[in-house]
Amino acid sequence: MTRHETVDAATGPFDDDIQMIRAQLRRFIETEVEPKGEAWEEKGMVPREVLRQMGGLGILGMRYNEQYGGAGLDVMSSVMLAEEVGRSTFGGFSATVLVHTDMASPHLENAGTPEQKARWMPGITAGETITAVAVTEPDAGSDVAGIRSRAVKDGSDWVLNGTKMFITNGVHADLYFVGAKTDPDAKGSRGITMFAVEKGTKGLSVGRALSKTGWLCSDTAELIFDEVRVPAENVLGEVNRGFYAVMKNFQNERIVLGALACAEAQTALDMTVAHVKQRKAFGGVLWNKQVVRQRLADRQTRIEAGRQLVYHAARLDAAGVECVREVSMVKAYCGELVNSVLYDCVQFQGGMGYMRENPVERMSRDVRVQAIGGGRPR
């Protein structure tokens, strides 16, 4: 389908199946996440039992084939998932889930062989095998073309050496999708290959768990690969074509992060509207001041614009329309949007907006990374 073909704009973004899953997921978050998230923040991770519970509900495999425990849905299910985890107010929980469902495991779905999928996908959809994608490096960040990790063929194996940085789910993941340079003479983005590396493989270690400003219940790691032997059957996709696999998945990742950003912005704004409707200052209730209502209305307008941009890009993607431009717009707009809205929400709530007991304070820290993550728009 070309970008000049049309997508039915009158069709709602979510069908009945997705709406049914949304209702189930919302109940789960209200009972199993929101009351417990503060304890997870202190612990620095989301308990793996929670992810297994989500797997049991069918939440972690919505995009994957039914033979592996999935539901065979399209990108709109990922948008819904991002919106609902975003409503939880715990960005670290959102990151843990979405990295597994929409940033790491899609590498297996997109490039894996039938044998690889049969081996790992059932555990992924069940929440038994948690995934991480290990591409970013200390000197390269999200500049995939700057990868310095090396993999050298040795008999039927590849020997992997290098360091990865800022790896979400990196401390506790069971399966890593790792990018490494396999052609040392290739320039720039060429000569990169993706590998599936299992936890416990000799030579793979967590260099350190990283301490972050936000996303505190998301475990983030520096990973060390020291003479890690990876069998040839663990190569994902074509040798030396890994850069294109990463770029392909950036499309999905950016749509999902855009949906997350809009949901977080909306949740924070709703909390702030409720606050200013009861807060008395300067001789009256803040809500009664026209300038306050006008500024809040402006923020709501911007959120709605971002949400519709996300839906538009997702519809195009689901219909097979080339949409790099629209997805890059999502990346550029929504990450800045959520930071702007959270800044204003803290400001509107005054001193209370700066208190750790207030979810808006935590969200203001969590969303800072939204303008950073997801790679550089092309």
Residues annotated as part of the active site: 253
Region of 282 please: left (phi>0), alpha (psi -120 to 50) or beta. left
For residues 266 and 302, what is the distance between their CA atoms, to the nearest angstrom? 10
For residues 8 and 329, what is the distance between their CA atoms, to the nearest angstrom? 21
Closest C-alpha to 232, from 138, 145, 153, 332: 153
374 token code pair:
């997801």
| Collapsed DSSP state (helix, strand, coil) of residue 314 | helix
- In sequence order, which ranges of 29-164 are alpha helices (DSSP H)? 37-43, 48-56, 75-86, 91-98, 106-111, 114-126
At 154, phi and psi to the nearest 5? -140, 100
Burial class (CB in 10 A: 0-12, 13-18, 19+), 225: buried
Give the chain's radius of gyration (CA, Å): 21
DSSP, res 354? G
Please give the biggest Cα pair distance in the chain.
79
For residues 99 and 106, what is the distance between their CA atoms, to the nearest angstrom? 10
128 token code pair:
């038994």
CB atoms within 10 A of CB 204: 20
